[in-house]
Amino acid sequence: MTSVAPDLHAILADLEQLVAAESFSADHQAVAASARTMAAVGTRLLGEEPELLVVDGVTHVRWTFGTTRRVLLLGHHDTVWPIGSLATHPWRVHDGIATGPGIFDMKAGLVQLLHAVASLTERQRDGITIVVTGDEKAGGATSRALIEEAARGCRATFVLEASAADGALKTARKGVSWYEIVIGGRAAHAGLESDKGVNAAVEAAHQILALVGLPDWVSALTGNEVTTVTPTLVTAGTTGNTVPDAARISVDVRVPTRAAQHRIDELIRRLQPVHPGATVTVTGGPNWPPLEPAHSAALFDGAEQRASLLGLGPLWSVSVGGASGGNFTAGVGCLTLDGLGAVGGGAHADHEHIVIRHLPDRTRLLAALITETNR
């Protein structure tokens, strides 16, 4: 097992560079500039330039060591923070805490990744692929195929997303499905001929009530109680005195298992109008497959052993509702352990931060996991 003593000052210096490269997902030019910064820092540390892969305008970064794929290291360099956020949320290190836009989610994890690989010998690096995507916060549409291709045939994927509360690793993530339900009605004057209309807003209300009851059906049939179906954005109508002839419902679905995801999809597609003159059209479907506990159990056991040998104290794990690229790697059958990135909190919020004392230890742990898996 490797014995790594990362330089905290060097880690912080590199982290400052990545945080300074603002990378709001919707700004493809900023994401491209961030990718170049990531590439420059990584080239200096690893002695090898990466590929910059542009897919539909989004820039991703990939390093490949050797010709055989055994270990995938995964992360993203885009953030939810609009360009200019450094002015209101500057890089700062004070009292053991570092702050800045995207520092927790997940630029600190990227620096840990680079320093962990830099600590390995050339032989230990052989078989490693590093993929850092530029669209995770936008849903991963341009990077999904890249991630899945890199994960196929690998022994393990280690995801450098930020940890959960108190540094917990993420051993399960819910799958995600997104739907849009379009309601068709018939317009009429609300005061003169409301009875001649078909109110799409009222029909939408019926459909919303049906949607929120679907988890009970899934729980009864699949035995789980953590599926959520959440109507989010709802629109209807054109003017205040017209019976709405159309409505739209956006629906966010989170599921713990593939069985639940499949069952919810079936039920949503079976929705029928309550009013005989209305229509219901469903679009969308499953997007992120779930990362189920079976995909991470063995890797978490190994991480506990490595942490103990390194004197890092006990590890613990949690299941979370948010998705990551680890959902895609698990979806193609690759063992996946997530949440190996920074310890801190406040993702996407004003108080986003990391606890800097954990940076060297998390880097050491990742290096040990890579070495053990890549033997």
pLDDT, tens digit, 9 for 90 and up, residues 59-111: 999 999 999 999 999 999 999 999 999 999 999 999 999 999 999 999 999 99
pLDDT for the residue numbered 226? 82
224: pLDDT confidence band, cut at 50, 70 and 90? Answer: low
pLDDT confidence of residue 2: 46
**Domains, the chain, ordered by start:** 8-174+290-373 (3.40.630.10), 175-288 (3.30.70.360)
pLDDT tens-digit profile of 100-158?
999 999 999 999 999 999 999 999 999 999 999 999 999 999 999 999 999 999 999 99
pLDDT in tens, 157-166: 999 999 999 9
pLDDT score of 1 = 46
Q: Which of the residues 22, 136, 161, 245 is marked catalytic? A: 136
What's the confidence (pLDDT) of residue 222? 57
Q: What percent of the chain has pLDDT over 70?
A: 97
pLDDT surpassing 80 at residue 21:
yes
Q: Is 78 a catalytic residue?
A: yes
Q: Which class for 323: exposed (0-12), middle (13-18), buried (19 or more C-beta within 10 A)?
A: buried
Q: Is residue 136 among the annotated active site residues?
A: yes
Which listed residue (14, 22, 78, 338) is catalytic? 78
Extended beta strands in the chain, E state: 51-55, 58-64, 71-76, 92-94, 97-99, 128-133, 156-159, 169-173, 175-184, 228-236, 246-255, 279-288, 317-320, 336-337, 344-345, 353-355
